[in-house]
Structure 1
Amino acid sequence: MTLTTPPDISTDDTTTDVQLDILRYGLIEVGREMLDSLMRSAFSPVCRDILDCTVVIHMRTDEGWEAAALWEGCMQHAFVAPHIANFVMDDWDVDQMQPGDVIFTNDPWRGSLHQADVNLFRPVFVDGRVEFLLQSTSHLVDLGGPIPGGFSNGAQTHFEEQLKLPPTMLYANDIPVRSTFNFLLENNRVPHLVLGDLRALHGCLVVGERQLQELISRGGLDQVRAAGRYAIDATEASMRRGIAAIPDGDYTAEDFLDEDGVTDEQIPVHVTVRVRGDSMEIDFSGSGRQPLGNCGTAWCEAGRCIEAVKLMVDPSTPVNSGTLRPIDVLLPAGSVVQVLPPSSCSSHADIGPRAINVVTQALSQATEESFAPDTGTALYVGFSGIDSRPGHEGTPWGAYGLGGGGWGGTWKEDGVSFCVTPIGNCRTSVQEHVEIESPLVVVQHEIVADTAGAGEFRGGLGSVYSILAESDTLITVVADRLRRGAPGAKGGGAGAPAYGWYIPDFDLAHHGDPLNLHGAEPLFGMFDEQGRPDPVHGEFGRGARYRTGKFSNMLVKAGDAIRFLIGGGGGWGDPLQRDVDRVTADVRSGLVTVEHARLAYGVVIVDGAVDVDATTLERARLAAERASGTWEIPVAIPHTWTI
């Protein structure tokens, strides 16, 4: 695609905001071209299908490197990218860089979310000086270590994980540095996928430099830089307007991780959000200790938790360094949000959502224009093995799955259903691609009724995810929210927690109903004495193989299947105030059962129609029982399980 040619722009003070707008969106368009190039040329499903990738244009300023424009596939990368560029360039002598150089790093203490996420940086020279820094980021399928895919459950130090490289030259003058490539490719299980993805990450930087240089040649360096500053300042101003609308005050909330995969102690995530005028401080003091397991983060909550603020106060402006400027984040050293080396922090996919959830819950105390927490777990599943299918014998392979839960209900609408948590905003794998490229069959991936937290605006619904192995397969699971589902806000109810089962000799005709547990072995969850899911009175791990949702290298034999139930988001507001027509529409759409409509919403439906008089009486009865303390909004969970 050719960028739209902007009008002639002079370098004096007569440049208009319209002209700057044209150029700042020109920068964003360069980012879009980069991401399109990356996705179209990537070999693995991670960035080609899942969108676990982001590209950024950083601009050199007197304050350091600032992200002037980006195009994200994975939202969390966008919020940490400004920090990563400065971490890396603090280690690198920018004046010694040459055109076509590309730096590689995946060190969490220098910016990566975890060691599976790699970051490439390429300088852009104008008149012999580095003026911009292009970044491409993606999760790689594998970089060695004991656990394919990088979520090293059970690891307690980063020495037990994948390869970790400080800033290292990957390309010199656009020529691959053989020693670096050899080191990476000879230490992983699927070098053909990794090589393809590294080339794609490099190629999109080449595309970006070409497009950026074209934009500079037409608009002029001074004006492109002015447009970058304008973009950052405009986003900052919009963020500050949104924050200023929140009453000054200190707002505190606490949530929990189930455990760390090594001990069974829950880990508190505590936050105090201090709002003063158009600025904000997010303080995680009081959060739990540095975990023994791998579920903490090295630093990335410094940027990632700001997603909650962005979504609440300024959802429409582009993300760049201006998004971060009005907010200071305090991360206690040695805590779950700021682990110290050599701790493992490979499994960041649950602490990230939880950090966003607590900021959301804190700010919901300050404003009606709020939303309830999302499902709080991506329920990541990693697959790997040696293919034994005819014609594929001996081929190593790897694949990923993201279960997809629900986002929380908001002050004006129901939550989004069947999607990944906001830290990713990713897709799951394209199921047809999974089945072509690996010995797996995705036999179910669909919404499950009664999994959304009840509310005036209910949460988004969760899903069932069932995968059949056609060859012996090792799986790694990262899941949380197993003991309690996503909490509601403003009087809303909680969503369903997550569950897992192992199904031997899977047959869709006999095992297609996700509520039929006959022959299914529980892997994790809250169960009653008969083995039915019961998030209120059940016992965690009763009759289950694991007392955690964080385990690695579980063998799934050929012909067997695994099944996961992922809960929905929390509800917003009193469910007894939900519009009866909305409840009826959910029942007719199969999202809510007749029984749950009565139990959670007080809506009585008989033969497909609302009994108005019975509904009035039922809602009055439940309201009276709630006032006397004898009724609580039921936790979302399907009601009819077959054992």
Structure 2
Amino acid sequence: MTHEANVSERLRDLDEAAFAARYGADRFTVSVLANRLQYVVEHMCSGLLTNAFSLILRDWYDFAATVSGPPESGYPMSSVSNSLAVFFGTMADGLRNTVEEFGPGELAPGDLLICNDPYRTGTHVNDVLFIRPVFHDDRLVSFVSLRAHQLDMGGVVPAGFSATKRDVYETGLVLAPQLLYHNEKPVRSTFNLIFDNARFGALLLPDIKTIHQNLRLGERLIVESIERYGLPAFLGAIRYRCDVSAESMRDALETVPDGVYEGEEQIDCDGVDDSVDYRVRVRITKVGRDIEVDLGGTSPQARTSINASVLDTKTAVGMALKLLLDPATPFTSGTYRPIDIVLPPGTVASAVPPDGAVFLFWEGSGPVLLAIFRALADALGERAVAGDFGSLSIHNANGLLPDGTPWVTTAQCGGEHGPWGATRHGDADNYSVPYLANNLDPATEAIESDVPVVVLRKEYVADTGGAGTHRGGAAVMKDTLWLAPAEHWSSPLHTKSSSGFGVHGGRSGAAGATWLFDKESFDVAGNADLLGIDDSVYASSTPVAGVLDPETHVRDLDNGRYFYFASTPRWCTEPGAIFRYLTNGGGGWGDPRRRDPEAVRRDVRDGYVTVEGAASHYGVVVTGDPESDPEGVRVDHEATSRLRAGSMS
């Protein structure tokens, strides 16, 4: 039976005897063990990160680790790594589903259990969940797990990243719960199943071996802890961490005014055509120290693989409330105790097989988080958080080198990194990952060493961050030059409007777009400069996605038309082609006219805001030329006072 503390009792108010009775040891010992559990997951991740072979693990940190308790306690997840939130949020339920289906009584020391089915474990088929049971004195007492992205798991698209796949049979190999290792020995049939279906086996095999060894490390560290402190203290530490998270979330919810709040976020379309847009709608009911998040008004599941599973959406709900209300305490399965989620099956946020294909799951679950941010913005007031750049606009390319060696990119050359929204604490970061992720940005040198591409540009674009007392992050422009023939799948799924909405009086950031320039429209070899950024360059481009002027192909949300991202499902290019991705801008926080003029001057100097934008968005008159003399830029305080007085009257 799952142990749950009496919610009316405060953990800090327990006397030593009551604490020891509940958690099997004194406070100091339980605290030491609780922190050691965190050390275990980080140690496993460090081992994988520094020994991984495939670029998606080595350069993106596309994995996560957890420690969970035994079946009789309900598989409580007490510790998660400092890595992908979209992973560890699904791993508690994914582990439970996998072990229960396989049978906990069928597990033995030295086993490694795997599953990658999105509907059982969340995320997508490339993200294999590796689970190692931990035994002590022949008793199953814990689990260590790693979910790690495998470079390829078969399917119709190499590496898998595409919004155009229509069912589970196209997304890739599905592994039901099964053993990969038994008694420390590889299970040949499982390895054969994977490598008979997956591309790039030469990279997958050493990665799988590395994962296996790091799970063995995690198991050893846990067994050592049990032998030193005793099993009751170890199990108590797991319960304690979960109880702390539950109490902390309840306390945080109590600070939100009781009421009913609604929010909505969009996905442009799916990979069939642009006739259907998708809406994620949340209705939040907050009473006391409990909250219900109802997604009953969300659009039906998409016709292609942009859907999220139930577990992905559960993760998004938990992370949204954690980021908004309770960011300082550990995320565990206890976080969800005061949260009820109402989610009917068959929506874009709760797809069901076989037609509700799941691959770009973050495009279905990310809007859940943003819809919650929108819904609670007014209730939170100055504590509200503005929207980020939303869609990863992920780019997936592959081809052959001259010697016949296959290559593939995964989430390196699109709009995968971009700005956050501003908060009461200050301006937003300009270059990060969406709120639901937490990974690395691959180094340019690593990208160019692995695939035939040159990263020509990664820079911020002026006047794209939402204006505010605190400015939203600036949109990121990335240009990539392809040196070899290649086929590409491009998936910008949030360009019809800005995902970077402003809060507390802040303005929204700009909407992004994607373009393709072939060698005939711009030949890098024949030009002394890079592809320009002025509006005139876009007329010769082929629009990939965005709301653009039909003639000039410049962004125009007011009068432009939408260019559908999958109008060409697969882009085939010759050497010399350039893809340009422009992310959405982050939202601003607070009234822009209350921004410190000196901060606006610095923004102009640093290229985040133009001289014209300073006047029109912030009411600040800036003199000087930021291009030729950035340190000579000054604020005309008298003219600024007049401008702000006129605009605020």
C-alpha distance in structure 1 between counterparts of 2:401 and 2:426, whole Å:
46
Displacement of 1:135 after TM fit? 0.9
Q: Where does the alignment leave 5 or more consecutive residues of structure 1 unmatched?
A: 1-8, 625-643
Q: Which of 561, 572, 588 in structure 1 is aligned with 2:578?
A: 561
Residue in structure 1 matched with residue 14 of structure 2 by the alignment: none
Q: Using a 3 Å threshold, how does the CA distance of structure 1 residues 278 and 346 change in structure 2: closer, same or farther?
A: same
C-alpha distance in structure 2 between counterparts of 1:14 and 1:109, whole Å:
36
Q: Secondary structure at the match of 2:564?
A: coil
Kept after mapping to 1: 8 A contact 2:316/2:366: no
Task: Say whether 1:444 aligns with 2:457.
Answer: yes
Q: State the 4+ residue runs in structure 1 displaced beyond 4 angstroms.
A: 9-14, 549-552
Displacement of 1:549 after TM fit? 6.2
Displacement of 1:11 after TM fit? 9.3
Q: Secondary structure at the match of 2:599?
A: helix
Kept after mapping to 1: 8 A contact 2:516/2:541: yes
Give the alignment of 1:124-273 within 5 angstroms: 124-264=134-274, 265-273=276-284
Kept after mapping to 2: 8 A contact 1:469/1:558: yes
Task: Say whether 1:116 aligns with 2:141.
Answer: no
Q: Using a 3 Å threshold, how does the CA distance of structure 1 residues 79 and 14 change in structure 2: closer, same or farther?
A: closer
Kept after mapping to 2: 8 A contact 1:65/1:82: yes
Residue in structure 2 matched with residue 639 of structure 1 by the alignment: none
Q: Which of 511, 531, 538 in structure 1 is aligned with 2:559?
A: 538
Task: Say whether 1:279 aligns with 2:279.
Answer: no
Q: Secondary structure at the match of 1:366?
A: helix
What TM-score, normalized to structure 2? Answer: 0.90
Residue in structure 2 matched with residue 629 of structure 1 by the alignment: none
Give the alignment of 1:481-560 within 5 angstroms: 481-486=494-499, 487-505=501-519, 509-515=528-534, 516-517=537-538, 519-541=540-562, 547-548=564-565, 552-560=569-577
Q: Using a 3 Å threshold, how does the CA distance of structure 1 residues 501 and 168 change in structure 2: closer, same or farther?
A: same
Q: Using a 3 Å threshold, how does the CA distance of structure 1 residues 224 and 508 change in structure 2: closer, same or farther?
A: farther
C-alpha distance in structure 1 between counterparts of 2:22 and 2:268, whole Å:
58
Instruction: Please tell me the residue identity of whatever aligns with 2:295.
Output: F
Kept after mapping to 1: 8 A contact 2:162/2:396: no
Kept after mapping to 2: 8 A contact 1:480/1:549: no
C-alpha distance in structure 2 between counterparts of 1:575 and 1:507, whole Å:
43
Give the alignment of 1:18-417 within 5 angstroms: 18-60=28-70, 62-264=72-274, 265-299=276-310, 300-342=312-354, 343-368=356-381, 369-388=383-402, 392-401=403-412, 403-417=416-430
C-alpha distance in structure 1 between counterparts of 2:587 and 2:133, whole Å:
44
Kept after mapping to 2: 8 A contact 1:147/1:553: no
Kept after mapping to 2: 8 A contact 1:525/1:533: no
Kept after mapping to 1: 8 A contact 2:267/2:367: yes
C-alpha distance in structure 1 between counterparts of 2:20 and 2:298, whole Å:
52
Displacement of 1:373 after TM fit? 1.1
Instruction: Please tell me the residue identity of whatever aligns with 2:279.
Output: P
Residue in structure 2 matched with residue 602 of structure 1 by the alignment: 619
Kept after mapping to 2: 8 A contact 1:56/1:134: yes
Kept after mapping to 2: 8 A contact 1:263/1:292: no
What TM-score, normalized to structure 1? Answer: 0.91
CA deviation map 1:415-456 (0-9, x unaligned): 111111011122232221111122122121222222211112
CA deviation map 1:151-208 (0-9, x unaligned): 3422221112111111121111121111111121121221112222222222211111
C-alpha distance in structure 2 between counterparts of 1:186 and 1:153, whole Å:
24
Displacement of 1:72 after TM fit? 3.5
Kept after mapping to 1: 8 A contact 2:492/2:513: no
Structure that is richer in helix per residue: 2
Q: Secondary structure at the match of 1:510?
A: coil
Displacement of 1:550 after TM fit? 8.8
C-alpha distance in structure 1 between counterparts of 2:83 and 2:527, whole Å:
34
CA deviation map 1:513-561 (0-9, x unaligned): 33343643322212225425334323234xxxx5126965322322222
Q: Using a 3 Å threshold, how does the CA distance of structure 1 residues 177 and 592 change in structure 2: closer, same or farther?
A: same
Kept after mapping to 2: 8 A contact 1:37/1:204: yes
Q: Which of 604, 610, 622 in structure 2 is aligned with 1:587?
A: 604
C-alpha distance in structure 2 between counterparts of 1:340 and 1:14, whole Å:
42
C-alpha distance in structure 2 between counterparts of 1:552 and 1:415, whole Å:
34
Displacement of 1:226 after TM fit? 0.8
Residue in structure 2 matched with residue 613 of structure 1 by the alignment: 638
C-alpha distance in structure 2 between counterparts of 1:308 and 1:523, whole Å:
31
Displacement of 1:65 after TM fit? 0.7
Instruction: Please tell me the residue identity of whatever aligns with 1:491.
Output: G
Q: Using a 3 Å threshold, how does the CA distance of structure 1 residues 550 and 432 change in structure 2: closer, same or farther?
A: farther
C-alpha distance in structure 2 between counterparts of 1:444 and 1:93, whole Å:
51
Displacement of 1:316 after TM fit? 1.2
C-alpha distance in structure 2 between counterparts of 1:131 and 1:249, whole Å:
42
Q: Using a 3 Å threshold, how does the CA distance of structure 1 residues 551 and 477 change in structure 2: closer, same or farther?
A: farther
CA deviation map 1:481-533 (0-9, x unaligned): 21111221122211121211112236673334333436433222122254253
Instruction: Please tell me the residue identity of whatever aligns with 2:392.
Output: A
Q: Secondary structure at the match of 1:477?
A: strand
Instruction: Please tell me the residue identity of whatever aligns with 1:612.
Output: H
C-alpha distance in structure 2 between counterparts of 1:520 and 1:529, whole Å:
11
C-alpha distance in structure 2 between counterparts of 1:79 and 1:212, whole Å:
22
Kept after mapping to 1: 8 A contact 2:308/2:363: no
C-alpha distance in structure 1 between counterparts of 2:27 and 2:512, whole Å:
49
Kept after mapping to 2: 8 A contact 1:78/1:320: no
Q: Using a 3 Å threshold, how does the CA distance of structure 1 residues 147 and 76 change in structure 2: closer, same or farther?
A: same
Q: Using a 3 Å threshold, how does the CA distance of structure 1 residues 59 and 507 change in structure 2: closer, same or farther?
A: farther
CA deviation map 1:326-378 (0-9, x unaligned): 21111121211111211211111222221110111111121121111111112
Kept after mapping to 2: 8 A contact 1:105/1:166: yes
Q: Secondary structure at the match of 2:319?
A: helix
Kept after mapping to 2: 8 A contact 1:235/1:318: yes
Q: Which of 457, 461, 464 in structure 1 is aligned with 2:470?
A: 457
Q: Secondary structure at the match of 1:217?
A: helix
Instruction: Please tell me the residue identity of whatever aligns with 2:107.
Output: M
C-alpha distance in structure 2 between counterparts of 1:435 and 1:495, whole Å:
31
C-alpha distance in structure 1 between counterparts of 2:256 and 2:71, whole Å:
31
Q: Using a 3 Å threshold, how does the CA distance of structure 1 residues 398 and 178 change in structure 2: closer, same or farther?
A: farther
Aligned alpha-carbon RMSD (Å): 2.1
Q: Secondary structure at the match of 1:377?
A: coil
C-alpha distance in structure 2 between counterparts of 1:61 and 1:463, whole Å:
46
Kept after mapping to 2: 8 A contact 1:290/1:339: yes
Displacement of 1:74 after TM fit? 0.9
C-alpha distance in structure 1 between counterparts of 2:264 and 2:646, whole Å:
32
Kept after mapping to 1: 8 A contact 2:23/2:235: no
C-alpha distance in structure 2 between counterparts of 1:562 and 1:110, whole Å:
36
Displacement of 1:121 after TM fit? 0.7
C-alpha distance in structure 1 between counterparts of 2:109 and 2:71, whole Å:
19
Q: Using a 3 Å threshold, how does the CA distance of structure 1 residues 395 and 62 change in structure 2: closer, same or farther?
A: closer
Instruction: Please tell me the residue identity of whatever aligns with 2:607.
Output: G
Instruction: Please tell me the residue identity of whatever aligns with 2:492.
Output: A
Displacement of 1:61 after TM fit? 5.2
Q: Where does the alignment leave 5 or more consecutive residues of structure 2 unmatched?
A: 1-18, 520-524, 625-632
Q: Secondary structure at the match of 2:76?
A: strand
Q: Secondary structure at the match of 1:413?
A: coil
C-alpha distance in structure 2 between counterparts of 1:489 and 1:328, whole Å:
26
